[in-house]
Amino acid sequence: MSKTTLHDLKPKPAPQPEGIHEATGLIKGSFGIGTYRAHGKVFAGLVQADGGVYDLSAHYADTLALFEDWDRALDLLADISAKDAGSDLRFADVECLPPVSRPNMLCAGSNYRQHVAEMMTYNKFNQDKRLPGESDESFFLRNLEEVDRRAREGMPFFWTGLHSSLCGANDEIPLPLVGEHPDWELEFAAVVARTGRYIRPEDAGDLIAGYVMVNDLGTVDEFRRADVRWGHDWISKHQPNFKPAGPFIVPKQFVDRSKVQIRMKLNGEIMQDWPISDMIFEPEQILSYASERIRLMPGDFLLTGSPPGNGAMHNNRWMRPGDVLESEITYLGRQTNKVVAEETQGKPTYGPFITEWAA
């Protein structure tokens, strides 16, 4: 079984909703909330499906204030959207900034069944578990059994992200001087509406305000290091502009998660195309787990993990200057990001991690 044929086990594509508007990627009757710049002004805005943009600064200083007042804000937003009084601003003419400027980011890992089994089959870290002479097919199926056991008996996993790595939906991605394998992971993320402790999964839906698209970029050769013995170092996920987010947050009532497909192209070629139904743990389960470990705050982002299709599964095709990423998640709009070389006068002092001590 080759890396390509392993994808024969992929679930069926999600059925797509009707009424997706070409101007925004929003479905008719829905709206998004984000942060935008136009005519030199930065403001919280409401985006209609047809591309009309409404400045919300008369009501909220920024989107964080909006999510801190979510229940009342949602009624106000629905009223503004329903009146559809017209706007001088168009979505095509505004600059998309990160939808929330400084959210805590909870980044779920190992959360798509196929993706996790692929990593366990091919990545170096797990090869000591391969039986002598075992084929990729047999090893993959054993790993899939372990993934399914985790879903039944285990618990979610997340690491915390830095908001300094956020950028707008269409910003350039500068490749840093450290790291040789810059990779993509397009993710469906939940946005938190309120705090809570020890929330049961069946009640955790009340914590969710809406959903947003985030591309969780990282230099994936910079995770493990020989000079520190306790597993991964996640700092390579937080280089500048390594979290393109938005272009808006869509309230949860407009999103049918059974119809959500994640799609990402590199220079026009499809890299990721997967339904979120393949998640091991649903957003409510991850938020329940998080409520036992941390203080959740309004406006926090919960990234729910990446489906298959990153660079390693495309013959180690990593990002390089000149590439263009085109990303889309059903209901959540689109992103376009050009990859560029980082412009800097400095040079690294420490450089790449030591992955193995010299003999």
pLDDT in tens, 272-328: 999 999 999 999 999 999 999 999 999 999 999 999 999 999 999 999 999 999 999
Question: Does 2 have pLDDT greater than 50?
Answer: no
| Residue 286, in any domain of the structure | yes
Q: From CA 138, how far away is CA 131, in angstroms rounded?
A: 9
Residue-wise burial string across 176-208, b where 16 or more C-beta atoms lie within 10 A, e elsewhere: bebbebbbbbbbbbbbbbeebeebebeebeebb
| Residue 165, in any domain of the structure | yes
| Residue 27, in any domain of the structure | no
- Is the pTM of the predicted complex or chain greater than 0.85? yes
Give per-residue pLDDT as tens, 55-100.
999 999 999 999 999 999 999 999 999 998 767 899 999 999 999 9
Q: Are 14 and 275 in contact (CB under 8 A)?
A: yes
Give per-residue pLDDT as tens, 240-271.
999 999 999 999 999 999 999 999 999 999 99
Q: From CA 259, how far away is CA 96, in angstroms rounded?
A: 25
Give per-residue pLDDT as tens, 90-137.
999 999 999 999 999 999 998 999 988 988 999 888 999 999 999 999
Q: What is the DSSP string of 145-187?
A: HHHHHHHHH----EEEE-GGGEE-TT--EEEPSS-S-EE--EE
Q: Rounded to 5 degrees, what angle do the CA atoms 139, 188, 143 make?
A: 10
Question: Does 232 have pLDDT greater than 80?
Answer: no
316: CATH:
3.90.850.10
| Residue 74, in any domain of the structure | no
pLDDT, averaged across the chain = 94
pLDDT band at 3 (very low <50, low <70, confident <90, very high): low
Instruction: Give the chain's length.
Output: 359
Residue 6: its pLDDT value, please?
Answer: 55
Total domains in the chain come to 1
Domain range for 197 is 100-111+157-341
| Residue 68, in any domain of the structure | no
DSSP code at position 11? P
The average pLDDT across 197-220 equals 98
